[in-house]
Amino acid sequence: MPITQDAVKTLSAQLYDWSLRRVPDDTKDALRRARATETHEGAQRVLEIMLGSAMRAEKEDRFVCSDAGVPVFRVTLGAEARWEGDIKAAIRDGFAELVDRIKPPLLKHVTNPLTNERGYFGKDMPLVTWEVESGVDWIEIACQPKALGSGRWAQAETFSFPSLAEIEAYVMKAVMQAGSQHCPPVIIGVGIGGSFDVAAKIASKATYRPIGSLNPEPVLAAMEERLLRAVNATGFGPMGTGGDTTALAVHVDYSSGHGYTPVAVCFNCWINRRTRARLHADGSVERME
């Protein structure tokens, strides 16, 4: 049975809506662990207030942040998936219908970069990354709305045959530039290699990985661990007002490339908006988070 245009439309809109109202469980757990180990008194309190805000959003079905950001999706098409209709239009239509019905209403965040005018719609919005996965027959849709804390501080730079030391120093440079401004503690995604666009895509995808999951590449697992210690040694702390907890996780991935090596670094703010679900061939919806 082919996956329908309507199913994609409904699910993509739901994933955006859900992401606004709930901090993922792994993120709340990480905040609790940080609260237990944090030595800075003010930071302990800020972490408690964060958890209080997260719990209240769930209980009262409120938005965690007023900046709902712009809708950003990553769609993974199973190479053996069958679908009918225009699934690209489905995501656009799903968002348009959501804008009409969502309670409370969304603020206008979609911005024309040439005029800075803001509205609900614009060129190429929602922003979608399309991927193909071999050997599966589902379509997976992931949503990560992007606003200032979750988008503004990302950056990329291209090096020639960099050492790991140079790559890690660049990550720390990006952390210093974000400083107190990206609603820490953040989840940091690092993409190494490929081409310019591929590095950015890898970095962004890395932020979706659950906190606490082990990188299967031992070299990267070790890099993630030491970078997390390094970021937290800066002392910016929760909301950038001081403390031991500036990041909850650093996730690194790579792609082979030419030797000119782009390195991309991006951040997701502490509320870590992130939802994901799969549409299966039998018509069922499997919500992962």
Shortest distance in whole angstroms from residue 64 CB to another protein: 5
Shortest distance in whole angstroms from residue 63 CB to another protein: 5
Closer residue to another protein (CB): 183 or 211: 183
Q: Are 82 and 137 in contact (CB under 8 A)?
A: yes
Other CB atoms within 10 Å distance of the CB of residue 76: 19
Closer residue to another protein (CB): 148 or 198: 148
Shortest distance in whole angstroms from residue 109 CB to another protein: 9
Beta strands in the chain (DSSP E): 3-4, 72-78, 83-84, 110-111, 118-119, 127-133, 139-143, 155-160, 186-193, 247-255, 260-268, 275-279, 285-287
Shortest distance in whole angstroms from residue 209 CB to another protein: 20
Spell out the residues 6+ positions from residue 10 whose beta carbon is closer than 8 angstroms to its own: 94
**Token pair for 23:** 């901090």
Closer residue to another protein (CB): 128 or 230: 230
Closer residue to another protein (CB): 33 or 280: 33
* Amino acid identity, position 196: F
Residues that bind another protein (CB under 8 A): 23, 42, 45-46, 48-50, 52-54, 56-57, 60, 62-67, 104-105, 107-108, 118, 148-149, 152, 164-165, 168-169, 172, 176, 179-183, 218-219, 222-223, 225-227, 229-230, 233-237, 239-242, 269-271
Shortest distance in whole angstroms from residue 232 CB to another protein: 10
Q: Are 188 and 178 in contact (CB under 8 A)?
A: no
